[in-house]
Amino acid sequence: MALDAVEAIRQLQDRSSAKRRSAAKRLRKLGDSYASPALLEALKNEVGDPRTWETQYQMTMALGTCGSPSDLPYLRDLVLQRETLHAVHTAGGDAIVRLSYMEHSHTEAIRWCLSTGNETLVGGALQAVAMLGLALDEQTVTDILDFIEARPPQDGIYFWPTIAAAGWTGQRVHGFLTSCLSSPRSDVAEAATNSLAGNYGTHRPL
């Protein structure tokens, strides 16, 4: 039987990392704001141990669905720390955009992620943009594509913006998607085909 929110919150304190991770995944799916304080505290206790990177990832992702904009200062500080794991950068970018979207400040959040130059963080942010189906203004799209197209075409960072572009418009977007049709990555080429047809496809981030 699947855990309810109260049981999952309690399990965040389990001695087993696997059980803490399972609890975070359950809370991420439930999206219950009641879990926000417990998740934030659990994440603060978890970070710093590279052995539990998967658990840290799921806790951060769960905070993105259960948290509030008040959690943003902690998340921004976390992803700027040198010792923060790559998996947490990905989840942090996703969570920062999701929580910023709640207060209609997602465009600023995306620009902030781009300004760090951190490809992993930007990848996570664009994952959220794609999953939320966010339509962005022309300048923000231009800034994103400038960042992406400065990387070689085989770079994995192309995947999520190619999906997100299904909801973007303009000649620059069409040119980007057309070029992605011949990507050396089959997943990017498939995403480009879908996006040119206005279809986001079906995707489930880890």
How confident is the model over 77-130, as pLDDT tens digits?
999 998 999 999 999 999 999 999 999 999 999 999 999 999 999 999 999 999
Instruction: Show Cβ contacts of residue 22 under 8 Å, excluding neighbours closer than 6 positions.
Output: 3, 11
Share of the chain above pLDDT 70, in %: 100
Question: 131 near 205, Cβ under 8 Å?
Answer: yes
How confident is the model over 39-90, as pLDDT tens digits?
999 999 999 899 999 999 999 999 999 999 999 999 999 999 989 999 999 9
Residue owning tokens 């498939």: 190
Among 98, 135, 132, 102, residue whose Cα is nearest residue 113: 98
pLDDT at position 3: 80
Instruction: Give the DSSP letter of residue 84.
Output: S
Pairwise pLDDT comparison (48 vs 134), residue with the higher score:
134
Question: 12 near 23, Cβ under 8 Å?
Answer: yes
Contacts made by residues 140-148, CB under 8 angstroms, sequence distance 24+: 140/107, 140/110, 140/111, 141/168, 141/170, 141/172, 141/173, 142/172, 143/111, 143/114, 144/110, 144/114, 145/172, 145/173, 145/176, 147/114, 147/122, 148/176
pTM value is 0.95
Phi, psi of 198 (to 5 degrees): 75, 25
pLDDT at position 1: 61
Question: 183 near 192, Cβ under 8 Å?
Answer: yes
Residue owning tokens 């993105």: 64
